[in-house]
Structure 1
């Protein structure tokens, strides 16, 4: 009987300590990066030993992945089923997330640093970010398809570009905001970009850029491409 009473309390303490470690690791990795963020510094922040950190997470690589999952869970904590919604609600969620991120610079910095680092050879978070972006792009495509069906418009061929662009704009604005928050309004700028991209999918129009020269080919000639012209305009 005594053991059964103590077990929940022990588990609560373990979960609390794990969360403390995750928050400390997020701060360290966000300020110094993964490779330059020592476990000893993380351990010191939570008054533990290096061995104590490894007891909870097994390895530094595993701790990194748990930090990233913890960060993602915080984005959907208040959503039904803790999952990003579909259709127009997905894009509304992305806008709300941008405004929320403006109040949590530490989390944003950790994500920006680790996602940039993950493109390097043999980085332990590369597979995580590849999968994350693949999933988000797919969910955005599905949201666009649902939205187009709801509005009774054809799904344009550019929908995959639109999905990748929304994610790229959000991440790029986060970097600009981290560098100079006095000059970049993260929430407003993200909302502007997301609205523009969604509008372009729902109501595609001839590009104001016209034909844009692309970098020269091996022959030295520059090709010109039409920028996302709708089918009607391209065949007119």
Structure 2
């Protein structure tokens, strides 16, 4: 009985934590890091500010966990269905960009945070650095597998292509945020990916 009660308590705590993260994500997206108040997040989550700080040590820690939570949401959205080829995996990135075009507040948060995080003392510095490393490595692994299966040419540099692909994604996001009416971010990125697939094939 005690074990079952502990499991229920843990599940309830996790659900409460995820609710706080979802609310904080919306607040950061709408108001930015500096304009977001812990008191407002606590109020919307229907807990005290002390209760909020019980789950997250401070605003900086909450921000990092919100960014990690948002990455986890992306993973959940794309986890279903096995990706069988390099081309299919690259087209998943197009799906990510299309989704981002429907949530400009979140794209703005990531873009601003990514720019500010280049300074070593920023609370999101390690998160941003580690995220880029992970994205490059994951994309490079997909490209390397496609090389091994013969889908893509054997003379390509997977790490270099991965870095360039991520740079195009981020650059298009910045241009789109500045001029959304004149740039169809998803369409441009889709064209880039299809061109890249054609170039990479033997």
On the 8 A contact 1:87/1:146 being kept in 2, the answer is yes
The CA distance in 1 between the partners of 2:120 and 2:88, in whole Å, is 36
The CA distance in 2 between the partners of 1:180 and 1:24, in whole Å, is 28
User: Which 5+ residue runs of structure 1 have no aligned equivalent?
Assistant: 204-236
Q: CA deviation at 1:64?
A: 1.6
Structure 2 residue matching 1:119: 3-state secondary structure: coil
Decide which moves more: 133-142 or 40-49: 40-49
Q: Rg bigger for which structure?
A: 1
The CA distance in 2 between the partners of 1:52 and 1:43, in whole Å, is 8
Q: Residue in 1 aligned with 2:43?
A: 44
Q: Which has the higher contact order (CA 8 A, sep 6+)?
A: 2
On the 8 A contact 1:145/1:155 being kept in 2, the answer is no
Decide which moves more: 162-171 or 10-19: 10-19
Q: Residue in 2 aligned with 1:58?
A: 57
Which structure has the highest helix share of the two? 2
Question: How has the CA–CA distance of structure 1 residues 156 and 12 changed in structure 2, closer, same or farther, with 3 Å as cutoff?
Answer: closer
Q: Deviations over 1:168-227 (max 9, x none)?
A: 111222233333433222321221122233333446xxxxxxxxxxxxxxxxxxxxxxxx
Q: With structure 2 as the length reference, what TM-score do the two structures score?
A: 0.81
Task: Say yes or no: does 1:14 pair with 2:16.
Answer: no
Q: With structure 1 as the length reference, what TM-score do the two structures score?
A: 0.71
Question: How has the CA–CA distance of structure 1 residues 88 and 165 changed in structure 2, closer, same or farther, with 3 Å as cutoff?
Answer: same
The CA distance in 2 between the partners of 1:166 and 1:152, in whole Å, is 16
On the 8 A contact 1:29/1:110 being kept in 2, the answer is yes
The CA distance in 1 between the partners of 2:84 and 2:197, in whole Å, is 16
Q: Residue in 1 aligned with 2:75?
A: 76
The CA distance in 1 between the partners of 2:4 and 2:145, in whole Å, is 50
Q: CA deviation at 1:11?
A: 3.4
Q: Deviations over 1:23-78 (max 9, x none)?
A: 22222323443344332232233233221111112222221221111111111114
Q: Deviations over 1:130-164 (max 9, x none)?
A: 1111121122222222223423632235x433211
Task: Say yes or no: does 1:155 pair with 2:147.
Answer: no
Q: Residue in 2 aligned with 1:137?
A: 136
Q: Residue in 2 aligned with 1:197?
A: 196
Question: How has the CA–CA distance of structure 1 residues 161 and 5 changed in structure 2, closer, same or farther, with 3 Å as cutoff?
Answer: closer
User: Which 5+ residue runs of structure 2 have no aligned equivalent?
Assistant: none
Structure 1 residue matching 2:33: 3-state secondary structure: coil
Question: How many corresponding residue pairs?
Answer: 201
Question: How has the CA–CA distance of structure 1 residues 201 and 152 changed in structure 2, closer, same or farther, with 3 Å as cutoff?
Answer: closer
